[in-house]
Amino acid sequence: MQNFYHFQLRHKVFLYCGLTLLILFTIILNLKITSNAETLVASQEIIHHHVGNSSSSGGCYTITKYHRHSGSPTSGGGCYTITVTHHHSGSSTYGGGCYTESHTEEEWEGCYGSDYCDQGPCGPDSSGQVYYVGTCPICYANLNVYNSPGWSNCSNGRMVTNTYYSLACGMYEGQVTSYKLGCQKSETTIEGYLPACNMDENEVIGHFKVSKSTDEWCTQAKIHIEINPESIADSVNPVSVNGENGGYIYPVSSNGDYQVVANLIEGYTASPVSVVFDNIDNTAPQINDYTFNTLDSTYDPVSIIINDVSDLQPDGSEGCGLDDSPYSYDNGSSWTNESSYSYAANGSYTLLVRDKLGNTAAVEYTVSNISPRPDPEPEIDPVPDEPQDPPAPPVPDDPSDPIVDPNPNNPPVRITPPITPGINDPKPKVVEPTVPKPKIPTPSVSEKASVSANVPKTQTIKTQDNLSESISESKTLSSTKDNFSLTDILIPIIISLLILALIGLLMFLIYRIVLVYDYEGKENYRFKGIAFIHSKSEGLELTITEKITDKCNTGRLRLKPSVLFVVFHSKSDISIYYLEKQSVRKRIEKNISLNIR
């Protein structure tokens, strides 16, 4: 009972794991976390067909087939095609054979002067009479030349008993009595060979699965191939793709139709599978047209303008498309989505354009029509600024030292500072007078324009670009930090939980699995299917389905529960149901024997 409780508890744990898996899957869909999942292209059945020759052996045909007489010697048919007819044997006079029933009768036989007595080969005698010389065959009278009594002196007859025989076989002449072999063979004659592979002709023995790594745009892809069971594949070259030897993973770098063929051992076939790729883009986009805002000599920056860019495959179909920031005007150091750019100085430049997969094309050009501006002559404003009063000179510490006025036109002024009691400063401090700065005349409008034009713009543009680049980098870092806080943390957690849930579900299935084998003779068992153990209120139950029992020839089954199940339930019983709910109760062991017929 305790084992049953632990089984129920584990059952609930695995159920919760399954629910958690479902919830995680829903969360992944809501977050729209996509991945380049594998796409199943085809799953072909692997068919077995007999190989070899039924008349000369080889391949599947290894069991010797001997001739066995068919038909019957009494009723014919089959090998018995020669008829045996009855012919009467023996004689009606002497018996024997079929004439075994005898009959007797008496009759009077006499000479009556017949030719037997009155003529013969000898004679005539002295009297000239011709007589038969010898013995009368009827009455046995002795006849001779000299004392023959003549025909009238024969005994003239006797009583004779005659015996004859009639048929007693009960058959008529030519009646068919039996049949003989007409096959000209014995039961040691080899007529052919039977298959020993234990499989039917055209029986499905496995599967040939072909998948493509992704349907999304990419620069490289893969074809994944699976042959199950793998033992029927050619160990040297299990798969060929477009006639080339390949393995179970075949790299693809260009679009096209790939014919995948499973190279199986003799006796197994699977149809070829066609895998079409049209999502591989290794072609860079093209800048079809660009112009400059001017080709004349100018003091101002020169702008390049991109008018037409295309991203096409070699066959003319659309590619993956341009990147969100497809243009670089500084040879790849930075990228932008602006289709124009201004150059403040002459020089050779490289324009790059890229697509979403990073395929990049370059265009080189030279800017040479920017002329340096002439230096303008400064103009002096004749109107001076209003004079400013110079600041008062500082009061020296020592009144004996005169203060020198920087303005020689003004007479020196001596100022005696107040004496603070308790402070004695024997050394006077000399403060230099502040010389007022001359006022620079305010330039006119034309002068301002001239001076502004004389300032080089290259440095200003460069500073602006650096500032823009710093701002862009700052935004990128900020965006990266934001993305990391959401997706990069959730994805590993979700994937880890998903893997744990799958492992738990797999362990649960393995825990419940029972392998079913059928007896094949000579202590050999052949795998027939998989059954699952269920938990019921009455205890543990196992159902052998009709699909499995239909495959069983002898009805002598061997059940093999999983190792984990045997360890936890080695002292428990299990109810086994088969053939329309007939049941037996067995102790759980590593091998459980079961007879269902």
What are 319-331's pLDDT values in tens digits?
999 999 999 998 8
Beta-bridged to residue 362, according to DSSP, are: 352
CA pair distance 409, 422, nearest whole angstrom: 39
Helix axes 2-31, 457-512, angle to 10 degrees: 150
Q: Identify which has the larger pLDDT, 80 or 102.
A: 80
Q: How confident is the model at residue 579 (pLDDT cuts 50, 70, 90)?
A: low
Contact at 8 Å (CB) between 565 and 533?
Answer: yes
CA pair distance 302, 323, nearest whole angstrom: 26
Contact at 8 Å (CB) between 357 and 281?
Answer: yes
Length of the chain: 597
- pLDDT, tens only, 281-324: 999 999 999 999 999 999 999 999 999 999 999 998 999 999 99
Alpha helices in 168-230 (DSSP H): none
- pLDDT, tens only, 255-285: 999 999 999 998 999 999 999 999 999 999 9
CA pair distance 23, 31, nearest whole angstrom: 12
Whether the CA torsion 574, 578, 584, 589 is positive or negative: it is negative
- Beta strands 158-167; 221-228: pairing state: unpaired
Other Cβ atoms within 10 Å of 222 Cβ, number: 15
- Highest average pLDDT, of 167-181, 189-203, 282-296, 444-458, comes from 282-296
Tokens of residue 461, six digits: 């543009």
Q: Identify which has the larger pLDDT, 139 or 515.
A: 515
The H or E element spanning position 101 is strand 99-109
Other Cβ atoms within 10 Å of 537 Cβ, number: 5
Tokens of residue 24, six digits: 């995680």
User: Closest Cα to residue 328, out of 306, 350, 307, 347?
Assistant: 350
What does the DSSP assignment read for 531-554? EEEEEETTEEEEE--HHHHTT-SS
- Omega cis (within 30) before 426: no
Q: How confident is the model at residue 33 (pLDDT cuts 50, 70, 90)?
A: very low
What's the whole-number average pLDDT of the chain?
Answer: 75
Q: Identify which has the larger pLDDT, 140 or 237.
A: 237
Q: What mean pLDDT do residues 359-376 have?
A: 91
Inform me whether the pLDDT recorded for 379 exceeds 90: no
CA pair distance 412, 409, nearest whole angstrom: 9
Inform me whether the pLDDT recorded for 207 exceeds 90: yes
pTM of the model: 0.44
Whether the CA torsion 228, 229, 230, 234 is positive or negative: it is negative
CA pair distance 306, 70, nearest whole angstrom: 94
Of all residues in the chain, the percent with pLDDT exceeding 70 is: 65
- Biggest CA–CA distance in the chain, Å, is 243
CA pair distance 593, 557, nearest whole angstrom: 6
CA pair distance 22, 37, nearest whole angstrom: 18
